[in-house]
Chains A and B, each alone.
Chain A
Amino acid sequence: MSETDANDDGYDDEGFIPVRHVAQGETLLEIRNLKIEATAYPPGEPPQDIVIVDGVSLTLAKGRVMGLIGESGAGKSTIGLSSMAYGRGGVRLTEGEILLSGEEIRTAKPGTLRRLRGKIVTYVAQSAAASFNPARKLMDQVVETTVVARGVSRAQAEERAVTLFRKLGLPDPDNIGNRYPHQVSGGQLQRVMTAMALCPEPELVIFDEPTTALDVTTQIDVLAAIKEAIADTGVAALYITHDLAVVAQVSDEIMVLRGGRTVEVGTTDQIINNPQEEYTQALVSVRSIDHEEKQPGDRPVLKVEKVTARYAGLKKDILRDVSVELYPGQTLAVVGESGSGKSTLARVITGLLPPSEGRVTFDDRRLSGDLKGRSKEDLRELQMIYQMADVAMNPRQTVKTIIGRPLEFYFGMKGKERDDRVAELLEEIELGQGYGDRYPAELSGGQKQRVCIARALAAKPKVIICDEVTSALDPLVADGILKLLLKLQKEEQVAYLFITHDLATVKAIADSIAVMYQGRVQRYGPKSQVLAPPFDDYTDLLLSSVPEMRLGWLEEVVANRKMEAAGN
């Protein structure tokens, strides 16, 4: 594009560097009865048209922020992208109107859309790491659309980019643009991407889960930076997320979506404090499982003593001097951010990574550090459930085979005896008999995780290691899984070592907690003690970073922090 088309749309470029002041109240985006369809190609069947979004309408005034919230498959990203008349992955915007500043864009010509995208409407993706070109410097990528679409000089664009970097709280704003994407942290990269979106002075920015992939302590900073940048530049935004507590901090209005339809729309205050629909009420109250802490018993079933471990070929210890205990029928939550060593601890306990020092004791027997040295009985009593249920099950085995195999392997059950026990287990995980003949691909995310739980239970273990078992699930589904785990714990007296980064989950399920930070146990004890002040700096940071479902929480936290997040 040449310099001459820069101003043909009537947007003037005056006041490019300082903040723009937009008159509020004027409608910027109006979507009426939007219908979005796609063609699915199920293997072995004729292609089918499916409706992804059905009859959704929304109105967004200039300078306002609307949160789109819903579970996976609710159509929130699809609706977000439709505001630049884009259908990702071949979806078609088939019916309805999308009016941007009063102009219909759903049926607009490619030329019109090209002037629109990256200039009037911009987009911030979930995974900044995957969205940046690793071979080009950040600044080149940040100013690219600004130079092309706005037609300003490179120097002007860079000046604005630096202003935005500063506003977004990036370290060394004058020079960070000279780095490559891999040279900055994930949280910083997400902020650079926000700068990229704001740089061409758009009217509307679509934020598509911008903090979902970040650690909880980093999320806060990015969230606060985004909120401030939105307020300062007066841009309107669609904020897409699955986390109601997050969206409550940044948006003026919230639209709750489910299965491609609108459930409820309202101001943030009304949705959070006075939800009308049942589904919204469920979403708001999702993190409120009440769990009484149990007193520790006298003899731990699993004891980890002074364990130090490192991966072959690495010069750094991933775990340093870690000691924790787990009592029968109880839950020990191991909490920490990515890189804190919590999954490595699971690998040491299961025998996948022999420790260089220290030992693991199970029921007063010392466990061999290496998987090969353990007896079948040792293996049976210690089971594991994984984060990603879809890759934890062989896609070519039926549910019956998956759950039946431990029965066969450990107890030698065959034929009817085994099938009966599988049916019992399916009952226990609240799935019907009919599920036995299904393949994992025919189950939903929550059902898959339930089958994995049944597989672990089939071995009649004393301890189950749960590695982030709910983090890949939608909040309501995760809630169901946690309740199931608590119920099974009561019935089977099984102990859980529960690895997670989500403190809300911890509060819901733990009896004792170990907070891990950089390979060490930072704080350890019964839940009530760990979660009660006085805190050390890191625990304070971690605890305060969990988004709470109330307005004004973000500002409070940012004002009261003692320590900077590491990934910052």
Chain B
Amino acid sequence: MSRIPPTALIGLILTAVYFLSAVFADFLAPYSYFEVVGEVWEPSSPDHWLGTDSIGRDLLSRMIYGGQITIFVATAATILAFVTGSVLGFAAAVAGGWVDQALSRLVDLIMSIPALIFALVVLSVMPVTMPVLIAVMGLIESTRVFRLARAVAADIVVMDYVEAARLRGEGSAWVIFREILPNSLSPLVAEAGLRFIFMVLFISTLSFLGIGVQPPLADWGGIVKENKEGIVYGIAAALYPAVAIATLAISVNLVADWILNRTSSLKGGRG
């Protein structure tokens, strides 16, 4: 294993901190997320490290639980996007012909509508629950994964070893999972990091607009929304979740960059 470059190390540590605090939220948070424990917008104090929010709840606790929700929704939606997108993308590349045409044009159609507008329309007619949110986000983003997976697979499908497998008489499942998947994993893993970031931004945006996670639960975007009035009075409460969104995005990006670099050097590129 080569030495991890410092940027990737920073990314890895921050990402790990966010994920661990999400997993162990119940142990870490000093108060519950819905309990009113003080005055409105108290400044930070030993009792409330980040102060209190717009109705007097402990902001640090809300941040920790908010992180849990943000990361959970983003992870679940990313997984959904990857499973759907890559399986369909591989299938399109392997099958070719009208299957490929039908899937690709459908994806073009979905992609021609801006993702946020599309989500707003769908979510305004559907009950906004966590599973619906995840499904909508995952399916919209799966179109991007589809494009990548199809492009990567299209390069692999023309390789002689895939032809050799076909001449042997292998079925599509073997070709997809044993010949194509192992060879397309590295670009897909790097893409997964980037997609995760988009998911974090996506859910934050939706919540900020009020059609994401519903109160009293809140993700980071929701916490920004709740506390945004405070900015006018010089209260920093809305900035903490904003900073959290930004640092999570940057740190995951640093990790994804590092993975992409490492894997491309495997193929003979410059590491």
Question: Which residues on A are within 8 Å of B, measured CB to CB?
Answer: 41, 43-46, 350-352, 371, 374, 376, 379-380, 383-384, 386, 388, 391-397, 405-406, 409, 455, 459
Contacts and interface: CB of A to CB of B under 8 A. Distances in A.
Contact of A406 (B166, B168, B179, B182): B168
A371 B170 CA distance: 11
A391 B262 contact: no
A394 B183 contact: yes
Nearest to A387: B160
Q: Which of B160, B170, B182, B262 has the most CB of A within 10 A?
A: B160
A393 B164 CA distance: 8
B101 interface: no
Contact of A386 (B160, B178, B271): B160
Contacts of B126: none
Contacts of A41: 265, 270-271
Contacts, number: 55
B168 A391 contact: no
B109 to A, nearest CB: 27
B121 interface: no
Q: Which of B163, B169, B170, B182 has the most CB of A within 10 A?
A: B169
A350 B163 CA distance: 11
Contacts of A384: 164, 167
8 smallest A-B Cβ distances: which pairs? A396-B182, A392-B160, A379-B169, A394-B161, A386-B160, A391-B160, A43-B266, A391-B159
B265 A43 contact: yes
Contacts of A43: 2, 262, 265-266, 271
A392 B183 CA distance: 14
B232 interface: no
A155 to B, nearest CB: 44
A352 B271 contact: no
A386 B169 contact: no
B167 to A, nearest CB: 6
Given A371-B166, A391-B161, A397-B178, 10 more contacts: A43-B262, A43-B271, A376-B169, A379-B169, A384-B164, A386-B160, A392-B160, A393-B161, A396-B183, A405-B168
Interface in B1-45: 1-2
Contacts of A391: 159-161
B186 to A, nearest CB: 10
Contacts of B1: 44
27 contacts: A41-B265, A43-B2, A43-B266, A43-B271, A45-B2, A46-B2, A352-B163, A352-B167, A371-B166, A374-B169, A376-B169, A379-B169, A383-B167, A384-B164, A386-B164, A391-B159, A391-B160, A392-B160, A392-B161, A392-B164, A394-B178, A394-B182, A394-B183, A396-B182, A405-B168, A409-B169, A459-B168
A392 B165 CA distance: 10
Interface in B237-271: 262, 265-266, 270-271
Interface string B30-70: 00000000000000000000000000000000000000000
Nearest to B159: A391
Contacts of A405: 168
A248 B262 CA distance: 46
A371 to B, nearest CB: 7
B48 to A, nearest CB: 47
Nearest to B170: A409
Interface majority SS on A: helix, strand, loop or mixed? loop
B179 A394 contact: yes
A397 B174 CA distance: 13
Contacts of B168: 379, 405-406, 409, 459
Contacts of A383: 167
Nearest to B3: A46
Contacts of B266: 43
A386 B162 CA distance: 12
A397 B178 CA distance: 9
A379 B164 CA distance: 11
Interface in B138-186: 159-161, 163-164, 166-170, 178-179, 182-183
A391 B183 CA distance: 12
A384 B160 CA distance: 10
A166 B100 CA distance: 52
Contact of B183 (A45, A371, A395, A455): A395
Given A43-B262, A44-B2, A396-B183, A350 B160 contact: no
A229 to B, nearest CB: 37
Contacts of B178: 394, 397
Nearest to B270: A41
A350 B164 CA distance: 10
Contacts of A393: 161
B169 A388 contact: no
A409 B169 CA distance: 9
Interface in B162-214: 163-164, 166-170, 178-179, 182-183
Nearest to B160: A392
A392 B179 CA distance: 11
A393 to B, nearest CB: 5
A383 B179 CA distance: 19
B101 to A, nearest CB: 15
Contacts of A397: 178, 182
Contacts of B271: 41, 43
Interface string B62-80: 0000000000000000000
| Residue among A371, A395, A406 with most chain B CB within 10 A | A395
Which of A379, A394, A459 has the most chain B CB within a 10 Å cutoff? A394
